[in-house]
C-alpha cells in the first residue's frame, strides 16, 4: 500500500496550477496590508505634518477602500480553494473504497468493514476541512510576509533589517516544535480511540464484569488509559505554548525593537510618517498573519497529518477486544449457591427496597423471580452480581461476596455483542477459546444455527449494528451457555425471543448443572421453576408456585394480570 501522506502530497502537487491561482488571489487579498503602511506614511508626512490636513484625510480614506478590494479577493480565494480541496477529497475517498473492496475480495473475513469505512470517511472530511484551512492560512501568511517585507524595504531599509531576523527565527522555532507536537497529537488521538472502544465494551458487559469480580480491575485499566490520555493532552497543551513564543519572537519582538530604536532612527533621518508606517506594517500586517498561521500550523497541521496517516488501510483491521475477564472453573456446588443474609438495601436516603431479607438458593436450583414493576427485581440481581452492595447484612455467592468470586454470569434485557468475530463474542465468559463442537452443540440446542455464517463459521465477523435485538440476545445466550459460571441469571433476557425458546434455554442451562435464576418477563416460567421468589415492596418471599398461590394475594394478582395480558 502506498503511504497515504505520499498520496495526499501527490494529489496536492497535481493541483499546482490551481494553487498558483489561489496564491494570486491571496496576493490581491494582501494588497491592503502593503498599501496601508505606505498610505499612513504619505498621510502623515505629506498631509498632516505638511499643513495639508485635507490631503492627509483623503489619503487615509483610501485605506478602507483597499480593505474592500481585499475582501473581494478573499471571496475569490475561497472559490479557488474549493477547486483544490474537493478533488483531493474525492481522490482520497475513491482510493480508500477501492482498497476496501480489494481487501474484501482478497479476504472475505473483512466483509463487514462498513464501520471502519464510516470512520475513514469522517477522517477524509477532516482532511478536507483542515487542508482548506492550512492552504488559506499558508498562502495568506506567505503573501503577507512578502507584502510587509516589500513595504518595509521600500519605506526604510533599517527597519526592514530590524524585523526580518526575528521573523526568520520565529519560523525556524515553529518548524522545530511542529514535529514534536504532531507526535504528541497523534498519541492523543490513538489513546482517545482506544479509550472509547474499551469504555464501550465495559458499559455493555458491566454486570458480567462485576459478577466476575473484575470491576476494580477494569476500572483501574480504564482509569490508567484515561490518565495516559490526559497526560498527553497536557503535553500537547504545553507544546501549544510555543505558539505564543513564536508570535512573541516573530511579531511583538520586532515591534518593541522598532519602538526602542525609534529615536535613533528618527535622528538618522527616518520621518515620523515612515516610523508610523513601519509600525503599522508590523502591528496590522505581520502580527495578525503570524498569529493565525501559527494557530493553523500548531493545531490543524498535526491534525491533518494524523488524519492522513489514519486514513490508511490499517484502519480496516479489527479493533482488539478489551482484556476479557475470565471465569473461574465451574464447580458443581454443594449446599447454598446464593445466600442473602438479613439483607437491607435502599437507594440513597429512600425507603429500603429490602429490609432484613433472607434467601437461600441451592446449587443447581431453578429459581423464578417475579414481582410488580419497580418492586426491586433488577436490584436483587445487582446485589447478586456485586454491582450494588447491601446497606445491611450480606450476600454470598458460592460462600463469598459476589465481587470476590467469578461464579456469576448475567444476561440482561439487551444482549451485548462486540464488534469482533463470533468466536470472540461467544468465548467472552469462557475459559480459553471456544471449542467448535461444543459451540455447535449449544447453538443447535438453542435453535440458533442461522447465526452461523455457512462459509466463515465462528470466524465470521459480527457487526452489532446489523443484528436484530433477538439475534443479539441469542448470541449472548450461547455465550452464557458456554461460560464457566455456576450461577446464571437471566434478567428479562428473552423478551425479544419467542416463548418456545424460553423453555429450551432454561432446560439447557439447568441440565448443565448450573443454578438458574430467571427474572421473569413471561410468567409461565413459574411453572418450570423449582421455586419462585416474589419481590414485593411489602415483603419479598420465596416458595413453590403452589405455596405462593395459596399464601399471597400479590402473587395471585400478578398471575391474574399476566393471564389477562396474555389473553389480550
Footprint of ligand ATP on this chain (CB under 6 A)? 347, 353, 371, 373-379
Q: Which residue is it, cell 468465548?
A: 427
- CB of 558: closest distance to ligand ATP in angstroms? 11
Cell numbers standing for residue 436: 467448535
* Alpha-carbon span 564 to 90, nearest angstrom: 60
Question: And the C-alpha cell for 398?
Answer: 458460592
Which regions of 402-560 does DSSP assign to beta strands (E)?
408-411, 487-491, 515-519, 531-534, 541-543
Q: Which is nearer to ligand ATP, 26 or 379 (CB)?
A: 379
| CB nearer ligand ATP, residue 137 or residue 492 | 492
Following CA atoms 414, 417, 418, 420 in sequence, which dihedral angle do they give, to the nearest 10 degrees?
A: -170
Q: What's the closest the beta carbon of residue 393 comes to ligand ATP, in angstroms?
A: 17
Closest Cα to residue 423, out of 439, 408, 409?
439
Question: What whole-number distance in Å separates Cα of residue 165 and Cα of residue 557?
Answer: 90
Q: How far is the CB of 340 from ligand ATP (least distance, A)?
A: 15
Q: What is the maximal distance between C-alpha atoms in the chain?
A: 113
Sheet of 392-397: strands edge to edge? 354-362, 336-345, 392-397
Q: Which is nearer to ligand ATP, 349 or 546 (CB)?
A: 349
Looking at beta carbons only, is 87 or 393 nearer to ligand ATP?
393
Show the beta-strand stretches assigned E in 403-486: 408-411
Minimum CB separation of residue 365 from ligand ATP in Å reads 21
Distance linking the first and last C-alpha atoms of the chain: 62
Tell me whether residue 353 or residue 526 sits nearer to ligand ATP (CB atom): 353
Q: How far is the CB of 377 from ligand ATP (least distance, A)?
A: 4
Q: Pick between residue 227 and residue 347 the one whose CB is nearest to ligand ATP.
A: 347
Give least dist CB 203 to ligand ATP, A: 15
Contact predicate 360/523, CB 8 Å: no
- Nine-digit cell string for 517: 435464576
Residue closer to ligand ATP (CB basis): 378 or 405:
378
Q: Whole-number minimum distance, CB 476 to ligand ATP, in Å?
A: 18
Give the whole-angstrom CA distance, residue 397 versus residue 325.
18
Q: How far is the CB of 520 from ligand ATP (least distance, A)?
A: 10
Q: Reduce the secondary structure of 249-318 to three states and give it as a string.
A: HHHHHHHHHHHHCHHHHHHCCCCHHHHHHHHHHHHHHHHHHHHHHHHHHHHHHHHHHHHHHHCCHHHHCC
Query: H or E stretch including 428?
Result: none
Contact (Cβ atoms closer than 8 angstroms) between residue 247 and residue 287: yes
Q: What minimum distance in Å lies between the beta carbon of 554 and ligand ATP?
A: 13
Query: Rounded to the nearest whole angstrom, what is the least distance from the CB of residue 391 to ligand ATP in the complex?
Result: 13
Cβ distance to ligand ATP smaller for residue 33 or 375: 375
CA 53 to chain centre: 62
Are 458 and 508 within 8 A, CB to CB? no
Q: Of 484, 485, 521, 490, give the one whose Cα is nearest residue 505.
A: 490
Question: 368 vs 375, which CB is nearer to ligand ATP?
Answer: 375
CB of 376 to ligand ATP, least distance (A): 4
Residue closer to ligand ATP by CB (options 458, 534) is 534
Q: How far apart are CA 209 and CA 386, in angstroms?
A: 9
Which single residue is written with the C-alpha cell 430467571? Answer: 518
The residue length of the chain stands at: 568
Amino acid at each position: 500500500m502506498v503511504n497515504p501522506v505520499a498520496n495526499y502530497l501527490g494529489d496536492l502537487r497535481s493541483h499546482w496550477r490551481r494553487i498558483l491561482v489561489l496564491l494570486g488571489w491571496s496576493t490581491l487579498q494582501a494588497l491592503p496590508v502593503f498599501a496601508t503602511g505606505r498610505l499612513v506614511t504619505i498621510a502623515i508626512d505629506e498631509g498632516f505634518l505638511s499643513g495639508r490636513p485635507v490631503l492627509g484625510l483623503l489619503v487615509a480614506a483610501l485605506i478602507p477602500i483597499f480593505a474592500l478590494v481585499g475582501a473581494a479577493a478573499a471571496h475569490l480565494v475561497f472559490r479557488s480553494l474549493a477547486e483544490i480541496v474537493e478533488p483531493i477529497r474525492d481522490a482520497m475517498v475513491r482510493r480508500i473504497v477501492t482498497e476496501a473492496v480489494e481487501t474484501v475480495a482478497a479476504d472475505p473475513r473483512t466483509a463487514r468493514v462498513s464501520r471502519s469505512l464510516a470512520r475513514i470517511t469522517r477522517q477524509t472530511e477532516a482532511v478536507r476541512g483542515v487542508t482548506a484551512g492550512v492552504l488559506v492560512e499558508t498562502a495568506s501568511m506567505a503573501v503577507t510576509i512578502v507584502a510587509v517585507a516589500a513595504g518595509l524595504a521600500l519605506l526604510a531599509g533599517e527597519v526592514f533589517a530590524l524585523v526580518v531576523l526575528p521573523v526568520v527565527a520565529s519560523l525556524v522555532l515553529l518548524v522545530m516544535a511542529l514535529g514534536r507536537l504532531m507526535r504528541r497529537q497523534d498519541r492523543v488521538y490513538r489513546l482517545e480511540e482506544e479509550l472509547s472502544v474499551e469504555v464501550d465494551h465495559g458499559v455493555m458487559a458491566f454486570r458480567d464484569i462485576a459478577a466476575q469480580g473484575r470491576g476494580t480491575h477494569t476500572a483501574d485499566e480504564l482509569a490508567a488509559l484515561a490518565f495516559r490520555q490526559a497526560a498527553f493532552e497536557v503535553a500537547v497543551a504545553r507544546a501549544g505554548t510555543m505558539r505564543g513564543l513564536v508570535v512573541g519572537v516573530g511579531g511583538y519582538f520586532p515591534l518593541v525593537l522598532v519602538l526602542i530604536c525609534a529615536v535613533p532612527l528618527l535622528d538618522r533621518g527616518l520621518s515620523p510618517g515612515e516610523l508610523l508606517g513601519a509600525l503599522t506594517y508590523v502591528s496590522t500586517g505581520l502580527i495578525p498573519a503570524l498569529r493565525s498561521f501559527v494557530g493553523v500550523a500548531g493545531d490543524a497541521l498535526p491534525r491533518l497529518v494524523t488524519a492522513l496517516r489514519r486514513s490508511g488501510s490499517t484502519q480496516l483491521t479489527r479493533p482488539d477486544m478489551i482484556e476479557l475477564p475470565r471465569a473461574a472453573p465451574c464447580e458443581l456446588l454443594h449446599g447454598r449457591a446464593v445466600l442473602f443474609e438479613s439483607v437491607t438495601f435502599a437507594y440513597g436516603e429512600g425507603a429500603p427496597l429490602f429490609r432484613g431479607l433472607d434467601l437461600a438458593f441451592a446449587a443447581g436450583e431453578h429459581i423464578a423471580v417475579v414481582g410488580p414493576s419497580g418492586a426491586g427485581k433488577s436490584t436483587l440481581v445487582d446485589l447478586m452480581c456485586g454491582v450494588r452492595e447491601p446497606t445491611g447484612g450480606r450476600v454470598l455467592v458460592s460462600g463469598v461476596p459476589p465481587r470476590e468470586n467469578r461464579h456469576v454470569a448475567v444476561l440482561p434485557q439487551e444482549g451485548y455483542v462486540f464488534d469482533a468475530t463470533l468466536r470472540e463474542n461467544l468465548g467472552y465468559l469462557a475459559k480459553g477459546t471456544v471449542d467448535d463442537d461444543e459451540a455447535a452443540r449449544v447453538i443447535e440446542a438453542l435453535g440458533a444455527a442461522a447465526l452461523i455464517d455457512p462459509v466463515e463459521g465462528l470466524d465470521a465477523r459480527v457487526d452489532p449494528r446489523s443484528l436484530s435485538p433477538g439475534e443479539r440476545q441469542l448470541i449472548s445466550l450461547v455465550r452464557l451457555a458456554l461460560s464457566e459460571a455456576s450461577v446464571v441469571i437471566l434478567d428479562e433476557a428473552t423478551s425479544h425471543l419467542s416463548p418456545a425458546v424460553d423453555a429450551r434455554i432454561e432446560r439447557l442451562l439447568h441440565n448443565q448443572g448450573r443454578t438458574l435464576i430467571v427474572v421473569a418477563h413471561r410468567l409461565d416460567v413459574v411453572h418450570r421453576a423449582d421455586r419462585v421468589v416474589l419481590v414485593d415492596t411489602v415483603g419479598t418471599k420465596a416458595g413453590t408456585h403452589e405455596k405462593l398461590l395459596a399464601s399471597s394475594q400479590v402473587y395471585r394478582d400478578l398471575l391474574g394480570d399476566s393471564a389477562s395480558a396474555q389473553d389480550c
